Amino acid sequence: MVDYSKFFSEYVRSIKASDIRELLKIVEKGNVISLAGGLPDPRSFPKDEIAKIAREVIERFGEKALQYSPTRGVSYFLEAVKNFSIRHGVAVNEGDGIITTVGSQQALYLLGRAFLDPGDYVVTEEPTYLGALQAFRGIGVRYLTVPIDEDGMRTDKLEEVLKKAKSEGLRLKMIYTVPTCHNPAGTTLPMDRRRHLLELAEEYDLIVVEDDPYSFIAFEERDVKPLKTLDRSGRVIYLSTVSKILAPGLRLGWAIGPDPLISRMELVKQEIDLHTSTLSQYIAAEAMNRGVIDRHIPFIKRLYREKRDAMLAALEEYMPEGIKWTKPIGGLFVWVWLPEGVNSRKLLEKAIEKGVVFVPGDPFYPSGGGENTMRLNFSYPSPEEIREGVRRIAEAIREYQG
């Protein structure tokens, strides 16, 4: 019998599975209500338009769309992303570069490999997106975390963290943030805190990664602009994706930022996959240029607002005393604080027995903690499943508390 473990690299021994990806395996088996992974509602995929575009793209551009393409991306798509971004209030400045990535998850991986060294510190909200922690894993970075409130990152606390880090001579390069419809917290940073964050990035000479999959589908208006648009000193790298506005299965994201930074990401990407799917780029470019995405966004906003409302109503109705949760204006998630002492991983075991899954909160905490928190997804289940799923979780909490 071969002992395969002796072939494992040190790196692969040092990493662990994603809770989100692992829970997807349970959901795939069926018979559970999933309030876990942030899967878009399949009704949000404009299937007929994508089918029509795919056929026409192969017929009209087949020789190019089915061929190898430049690592940075097909110029047809890069131009479409630029126009789409500007149309949606994301600044693309003189001197900026754009690179296509295999989802914005790969953009996170490229950022880690291009700009972070072992021992570097990264500043994040607490909690933060666990996919970013995964992307940076294996580099040996350390984290400085900033607490959030109902409006997202407490930039007054960010200032304290940066001041202390400087006094201790820590090697700090990057602030990673999800300022709009935060994953997992669902919060949206107001303009004063956006400006304060950028002032601090300039004062402490940091780059800012603005991870923004959700702005386009925020279902309640807020007078906020992307950090990329407010940035006056060329420090923001803006990430976004077609995953929530077209289809995640196309695996297509992008990064927009100062060209010297984008070109380093391009170097790393050459080693990983040569380039992003050429066909996906042509399909997405056509969907952008023909207005398919823009015409579809209002439907997606209505769909998720209804589901968000169903979740907030169910939480109000079923959750026991002493439990708090966020009230998102967009995105796909509600963040829940359970009473101290309730361990959400143990609660998940009970919940699975009752036929419902959620993501426990601790993997969203870069430096430990969060055992009494959990993330609930509302984009994938129906309003009826949301209501029943929350009811089952509330039942599990009562049984847990005894």
Ligand X SMILES: Cc1ncc(COP(=O)(O)O)c(CN)c1O
Q: Which stretch binds ligand X (CB under 6 A): 166-174, 230-238, 241-249, 277-285?
A: 241-249
Residue 21 binding partner per list ligand G9A, ligand X, none, with a CB distance cut-off of 5 to 8 Å that depends on partner kind? ligand G9A
- The CA-atom distances, in angstroms, between 158 and each of 177, 199, 210, 361 are 12, 11, 16, 22
Residues 177-216 as x/- pattern, contact with ligand G9A by CB under 6 A: ------x---------------------------------
Q: Which stretch binds ligand G9A (CB under 6 A): 19-27, 46-54, 71-79, 383-391?
A: 19-27
Q: How many of the chain's residues bind ligand X (CB under 6 A)?
A: 14
Question: What does the DSSP 8-state code read for residue 41?
Answer: P
254 is an interface residue for ligand X by CB under 6 A: no
Measured between alpha carbons, how far is 51 from 53 in angstroms, rounded to an integer?
6
Residues belonging to the chain: 402
213 is an interface residue for ligand X by CB under 6 A: yes
Dihedral angle of Cα 162, 230, 112, 371, to the nearest 10 degrees: 60
363 is an interface residue for ligand G9A by CB under 6 A: no
Based on CB atoms, which residue is closest to ligand X, 183 or 281? 183
16 is an interface residue for ligand G9A by CB under 6 A: no
Pairing of strands 356-360, 373-377: antiparallel
Residue 328 binding partner per list ligand X, ligand G9A, none, with a CB distance cut-off of 5 to 8 Å that depends on partner kind? none
Measured between alpha carbons, how far is 389 from 248 in angstroms, rounded to an integer?
24
How far is the first Cα of the chain from the last one, in angstroms, to the nearest whole number? 47
**Which of 32, 33, 35, 37 contacts ligand G9A by CB under 6 A?**
37
Q: Tell me how crowded residue 331 is: count the other CB atoms within 10 A of its CB.
A: 30
* CB environment 110-140: b (16+ within 10 A), e (fewer): bbbbbbbeeebbbbbbbbbbbbbbbbbebbe
347 is an interface residue for ligand X by CB under 6 A: no
* CB environment 238-275: b (16+ within 10 A), e (fewer): bbbbbbbbbbbebbbbbbbbbeebbeebbebbeeeeeb
Closest CB 131 distance from ligand G9A, rounded Å: 6
**Which of 92, 178, 189, 334 contacts ligand X by CB under 6 A?**
178
**Which of 12, 14, 15, 21 contacts ligand G9A by CB under 6 A?**
21
Residues 37-66 as x/- pattern, contact with ligand X by CB under 6 A: -x----------------------------
Based on CB atoms, which residue is closest to ligand G9A, 157 or 251? 251
Report the site for ligand X in 192-211 (rule: CB under 6 A): 211
Sequence-distant (≥ 6) Cβ neighbours of residue 332 within 8 angstroms = 38, 40, 181, 183, 214, 244, 304, 377, 378, 379
Measured between alpha carbons, how far is 64 from 34 in angstroms, rounded to an integer?
40
Closest CB 103 distance from ligand G9A, rounded Å: 8
Sequence-distant (≥ 6) Cβ neighbours of residue 260 within 8 angstroms = none
Based on CB atoms, which residue is closest to ligand G9A, 181 or 206? 181
Closest CB 261 distance from ligand G9A, rounded Å: 25
Measured between alpha carbons, how far is 256 from 215 in angstroms, rounded to an integer?
15
20 is an interface residue for ligand G9A by CB under 6 A: yes
What is the maximum span of the chain, computed from C-alpha positions, in angstroms? 65
Question: What does the DSSP 8-state code read for residue 327?
Answer: -
Q: How many of the chain's residues bind ligand G9A (CB under 6 A)?
A: 6
Report the site for ligand X in 80-119 (rule: CB under 6 A): 103-105
Measured between alpha carbons, how far is 355 from 84 in angstroms, rounded to an integer?
41
**Which of 38, 40, 258, 331 contacts ligand G9A by CB under 6 A?**
38
Footprint of ligand G9A (CB under 6 A): 20-21, 24, 37-38, 183
Residue ranges binding ligand X (CB under 6 A):
38, 103-105, 129, 131, 178, 183, 211, 213, 241, 243, 248, 253
